[in-house]
Every structure is written in structure tokens, then in C-alpha cells.
Amino acid sequence: MGQIRTIKKRMVAVRTIQRITKTMQMIATARFTAALQRAKATRPYTDRIRDMSGRLAASAGEFTHPLMRPEPAGAKREVFLVISSDRGLCGAYNGNVLKQAISAIRRSTGAGNTLRVETAGRKASLFFKFARVEVAARHQIGDKPTYLAVNELAKTYMREFTEGTCDAVRVVYMRFVSNSRQVPEVMTLLPLEPPAATESKSAASGGGATVYEFSPDAPTLLDAILPKTVSVSLFQAFNDAVVSEQVMRMVAMKAATDNAAGLGRTLKRDYNRARQTRITTELTEIVGGAAALE
């Protein structure tokens, strides 16, 4: 009797867990859909402004910009921004990001660089506290990052970089590739490294590189475009991180729901066996008692 009651309690607990994970899966699916729409909406603009800034910077001749100052050859002062989630139950999302962050931090420390670690997300803050890594700043961006909040953070990094407080700013986040692939990545936010001047179609057919006429002049134009490139790149990193978190939580909750359903079937089978065993035992006792009275 005690075994049957134990199994029945476990069955009730598993059904409760299954309902919770199913609900969390549905919520994660809705949030993933909304986050994916935001990330897809900003991706073309991000790619285009990066390409345009690269073309213009490469065609500006001897012009240099403070945001494009090359990293020093020796020891550097680096800022690491680690983007994680505020909540758990999202599979290996936080584990992969934090593993990538620790690996990058160890490489930088081994090279003799001076580090300043900042976090965006509660899980990263708790992890670095456990790992005894000092966190200089904790940013609260949330599940729905806004461009205004991210732009203020980007302005802070750009000001510190141009003033010489730091030599490089790197962002550790989960880059969203597709629904089935998310890649932890260390992105160099500053200094900007524009690609070489892209040749035009005529250049591909044997002509020379494209020549740009700047109006207004190159310094004025790049002063407006390059800071925007930094802000937009950081904003895209936050959007990719949110999408990756939600899709990994959706997959994790679906797996948990399926596991709960499988465990529920197993417990039901065990319950039926235990109940059948008890009935058989009671019938045997009744028959034995009747036989003893004869």
C-alpha cells in the first residue's frame, strides 16, 4: 500500500512539472518569435552600416579616426562585456557564453593585459562572484534591449577609448545564426577594424577601385557614421543574445516536457503493476483463508 501511494504522489508531481514546463515552453516560443523579429529587423541595417563605414574609411586616404586607433603591440588595457541571461532554465546558453568569456579572459591575462570585466545579465554576475573575478560594472538591459539604453553604454565605451582609458573593448555574447545554431563569440567592439576598400563591379571586370567623392568632407562624414557603427553593432549583439536565450530555453523546456511525459508513462506502468500485485496478493489471502476454514 505504501509503495502505491509513493508512486501515485510521484505521478502527481510529474504531471505538475509537465504542465509547468509546457507553459514555459509556450512563453519562450512567444518571446522567441518577438525577439527574432526584432533581430531580423535590425540585421540588414547593421550589416549595411558596417559595410558602408568600411568602404568610406578605406577610401578616405590618409584620414584616421580616434575610434580606429590600432591596439598597442605590448600590454593592453581591455574591457570585457559579458552578456548573459537574467534567468536560468535555458539549456547550455549561459554555460557556453561564460566558458568562452573565461577562456578569453585567461588568454588576455596570460598576455599581460590589464582587464576590466563588466556584465549584462544576472547569471554572469553570479558566476564571476563565485569565480572570484572582480566585476567593475553590472548593466541592466533586460529581455527587451532598447537602442537608447545600449547607445548610452556604447557612448561610454567610445569616450573611454578616445580618451585613452582603455585600448580595446570586447563583447562576449551568443551570436544567433539560425534556430538550430547559436555560436558563443568574442566580438571586438573597439577599435573599429574596417575591411579593405571593396571594389566595384567594374573593378571585378578589370577596372580600378571605386572612387568616392565626400560631401561633406571625409572627417565630418566618418565622425557621424563610425560612432553609429559602434552603437548599432553593440545593439545587434544584445538582440542576438536575447534571441539565442529564448530559442535555447524553448528547446530545453520542450525536452523537459517530453522527459516528464516519458517518466509519467513509466510511473503509470509501475503503478498498474503494483496495484495488480496487491490485488493478486489479497485474492491469494482470501482464497487461503477460505481454504483454512474448510
Cell numbers placing 67: 575610434
pLDDT-derived band at 176, boundaries 50, 70, 90: very high
Q: How far is CA 106 from the centre of its chain?
A: 20
Helices 218-293, 93-110: axis angle to 10 degrees equals 130
- Mean local confidence (pLDDT), 15-33: 95
Residues 6+ apart with CB under 8 A from 186: 100, 101, 104, 170, 171, 172
Q: What is the pLDDT of residue 200?
A: 39
Q: Given phi > 0 = left and psi -120 to 50 = alpha, else beta, which region is 77?
A: beta
Q: What is the pLDDT of residue 209?
A: 55
In this structure, what are the phi and psi dihedrals at residue 168, rounded to the nearest 5 degrees?
Answer: -160, 145
- Mean local confidence (pLDDT), 164-170: 94
Strands 135-139 and 114-120, how do they pair? parallel
pLDDT at 197 over 60: no
Q: What is the pLDDT of residue 215?
A: 74
pLDDT digits (tens, 9 = 90+) for 94-146: 999 999 999 999 999 999 999 999 999 999 999 999 999 999 999 999 889 99
Beta bridge partners of 171: 81, 187
User: 3-state SS of 68-102?
Assistant: HCCCCCCCCEEEEEEECCCCCCCCCHHHHHHHHHH
Q: What is the pLDDT of residue 42?
A: 92
Q: What is the pLDDT of residue 250?
A: 95
Q: What is the pLDDT of residue 17?
A: 95
Q: Which position has the grid cell 529581455?
A: 143
Q: What is the pLDDT of residue 61?
A: 65
Lowest mean pLDDT among 11-15, 24-28, 202-206: 202-206
pLDDT at 194 over 70: no
End-to-end CA distance of the chain: 29
How many whole angstroms separate alpha carbon 159 and alpha carbon 51?
23
pLDDT at 34 over 60: yes
- Mean local confidence (pLDDT), 183-195: 87
Residues present in the chain in total: 294
pLDDT at 203 over 60: no
Contact in structure between 18 and 264 (CB atoms under 8 Å): yes
pLDDT at 274 over 50: yes
Q: For all residues of the chain together, what is the average pLDDT? A: 88
Contact in structure between 73 and 232 (CB atoms under 8 Å): no
CA distances from 195 to 61, 96, 123, 177 (A): 14, 29, 35, 22
Longest dimension (CA), the chain: 116
Q: What is the pLDDT of residue 142?
A: 87
Residues 6+ apart with CB under 8 A from 123: 84, 85, 86, 87, 88, 94, 98
CATH architecture of the domain with range 28-201+211-249: 3-Layer(aba) Sandwich (3.40)
- Mean local confidence (pLDDT), 211-234: 83
pLDDT at 32 over 80: yes
**Between residues 198 and 177, the one the model is more confident about:** 177
How many whole angstroms separate alpha carbon 260 and alpha carbon 19?
9
- Mean local confidence (pLDDT), 273-287: 86
How many whole angstroms separate alpha carbon 36 and alpha carbon 38?
5
Contact in structure between 22 and 257 (CB atoms under 8 Å): yes
Cell numbers placing 266: 513509466
Q: What is the pLDDT of residue 213?
A: 72
pLDDT-derived band at 159, boundaries 50, 70, 90: very high
Contact in structure between 8 and 271 (CB atoms under 8 Å): yes
Percent of the chain with pLDDT over 90: 67
User: Which class is 2-24+251-288 in CATH?
Assistant: mainly alpha
Dihedral sign computed on CA atoms, order 21, 27, 30, 32: negative
pLDDT-derived band at 284, boundaries 50, 70, 90: confident
Domain boundaries in the chain? Answer: 2-24+251-288, 28-201+211-249
**Between residues 26 and 62, the one the model is more confident about:** 26
Residues 6+ apart with CB under 8 A from 35: 143, 239, 242, 243, 246
Residues 6+ apart with CB under 8 A from 49: 225, 228, 229, 232
